[in-house]
Amino acid sequence: ENRGLQSQPPPEEQNYGATAAHVRQGPFVPVSRNGPAKRDYPTAAVLCYANLINFMDWFIVPGTLIDIQKYFELSDGDTGLLQTVFILCYMLAAPIFGYLGDRYNRKIILGAGIFFWSVVTLGSSFISESYYWIFFLSRGLVGIGTASYSTIAPTIIADLFEEGKRTTILSIFYIFIPVGSGLGYVLAAGMADVTGDWHWAFRITPCMGGLALVLLILLVPHRTQRRTAAHRALSISGTIRVAAERPDVRRTAKATWCQDVISLAKNRSFVWSSLGLTAMAFVTGALGMWVPLFLYRAQVVQGIVPPCLQESCNSSNSIIFGVITIGTGILGVVAGAEAARRLRKINNKADPLICATSMCISALCLYIALMVAQTNILSTFIFIAFGELFLSVNWAVVTDILLYVVTPRQQSTAIALQILVSHLLGDAGSPYLIGIISNAIQAKNAHSFQWNFWSMQYSFIVCAFVGVFGGGFFLLTSFYIEEDRKEAEQ
């Protein structure tokens, strides 16, 4: 019966969304795979480049935070809210794009998202100080455009490459999170220093976004096929026959979004790893927003730099922090992927255990960095670097966990839900929470540079405790990951 199977999937299954029939084979049906096509690598390269721009744009605001705070005359709480607006719009839009990505043409969605966020970012560079609320609104709109990309791009990579190669490509893809974040700081601070005007920092990434859009149109195929065993092995007649003999297959193919959500909620590995990612997002969101300002206040207290009273403030901390983010990000992602590749051979629970260990070490490093900031700024930089390094270990590993404990038909939805939860409970609130805690501490004490520093230091301690909780969530993931992986493979 299997000898007559076609090597190519039938027309109705050559689809990019969940409208294609997804059926499951028994263990005796062979599935051939000749490796990724040559065009798959340029597609992955375009997605990596767009991911770079995505996170550069994300961290332009933190890179010029001192200037923006002074330009719009914002308190710490209001400044933190600026990033919270961005994240809230990003996470609320993510499930919508997850739904669309599972059902409609993903290339069109990606292109529209890149074009939208590029135009809005460019427009935000022309806002005057009298219209700060428009600047807040523009960051929210950029978050919506970003969600269209972040939700869909990893699923395309998952479709193009099998497990071994997929981990490598995902590692490269996620290297551009810290690299893009760091370049965002460097670009923002560099443009502010060169031009004397922080607005110019918002006029570079839109040009890079235009190039990404052109590359997307030229190099990414119009239809990116969902790769499952059924897609590669079944002929039209085989699909009809299996669907007739297996009523459960028809139900799976026609599952609604609500049924997908219920199914994912029962997937314990997905739930616990998503909560672990939420803790990561909480910590990275707070660090990304406030570290340059925290370092500046520590230096003022130590007398290393004078208080910023001129039009354009010193941006050296943003540049140094950006370089640290790039270096530790690359090293962390590569080390995490390599550790996962090696340890999986001896322990099936290696991935969540790696994440749990790195989260706890990162929390300890960040706590030490906070404690030594008032007396030794060099030690603060060193321990912040180690904290970021161990956080970066988890980026590709967490995504790979999701991709092998969730069935292919639900992956865009799963990523969208993970984005929603991790940002809702993570970095959507952490910058604002740190800001309002800092405001509350300042309000109860005399206004001084010393208390400006202490208020930020005390509020930052929350991140260390959240990091420990994140390690616990990943440890819980290890209890269920083998069972959930086997169920997804079936």
Domain end point (choices 191, 226, 261): 226
Pair (188, 260) in one structural domain: no
In 3D space, the residue among 15, 14, 13, 18 whose CA is nearest the CA of residue 260 turns out to be 18
Pair (160, 290) in one structural domain: no
Q: How many residues does the chain have?
A: 490
Residue 405 in domain: yes
All residues at 6 or more sequence positions from 235 whose CB lies less than 8 Å from its CB, including other chains: 4, 5, 6, 10
Domain end point (choices 226, 261, 289): 226
As given in the structure block, the two tokens for residue 82 are 């600026």
Residue 14 in domain: no
Residue 25 in domain: no
Q: Which domain holds residue 309?
A: 252-489
Residue 5 in domain: no
Residue 85 in domain: yes
**Tens-digit pLDDT profile for the chain (490 aa)?**
333 333 344 433 333 333 333 333 444 444 444 555 667 888 888 999 988 998 888 888 888 888 888 888 888 878 888 878 888 888 788 778 877 877 778 888 888 888 998 999 999 888 888 888 899 899 889 888 888 877 788 888 878 887 667 777 877 887 787 788 888 888 888 888 888 788 888 888 899 989 999 998 888 776 655 554 444 333 333 333 433 444 444 444 556 778 888 889 999 999 999 999 999 999 988 988 888 889 988 988 888 877 776 656 667 788 888 889 889 988 988 899 889 888 988 988 999 999 999 999 999 999 999 999 988 999 999 999 999 999 989 877 888 898 889 887 888 788 878 877 888 888 888 988 998 999 899 888 878 888 888 998 999 999 999 999 999 999 999 999 989 888 888 7
Pair (116, 167) in one structural domain: yes
In 3D space, the residue among 431, 436, 429, 318 whose CA is nearest the CA of residue 75 turns out to be 436
Pair (256, 201) in one structural domain: no
Pair (166, 296) in one structural domain: no
User: Which contiguous run of DSSP H or E holds residue 398?
Assistant: helix 395-405
Pair (399, 268) in one structural domain: yes
Pair (213, 267) in one structural domain: no
Pair (220, 261) in one structural domain: no
pLDDT tens digit string along 397-441?
888 898 889 887 888 788 878 877 888 888 888 988 998 999 899
CA 448 to chain centre: 37
User: Which contiguous run of DSSP H or E holds residue 302?
Assistant: helix 268-302
Residue 232 in domain: no
Number of domains in the chain: 2
Task: Check: CB of residue 45 under 8 Å from CB of residue 173.
Answer: no
CATH number of the domain bearing residue 265? 1.20.1250.20
DSSP3 helix / strand / coil % (the chain, rounded to 5) = 80, 0, 20
CA angle 365, 370, 371 (to 5 degrees): 100
Pair (221, 269) in one structural domain: no
Q: How many CB atoms within 10 Å of residue 170?
A: 23
All residues at 6 or more sequence positions from 262 whose CB lies less than 8 Å from its CB, including other chains: none
Pair (297, 149) in one structural domain: no
Pair (222, 271) in one structural domain: no
Pair (219, 327) in one structural domain: no
Q: Where do the DSSP E strands lie in 207-331?
A: none
The predicted pLDDT at position 369 comes to 94
Residue 22 in domain: no
Residue 1 in domain: no
pLDDT tens digit string along 1-40?
333 333 344 433 333 333 333 333 444 444 444 555 667 8
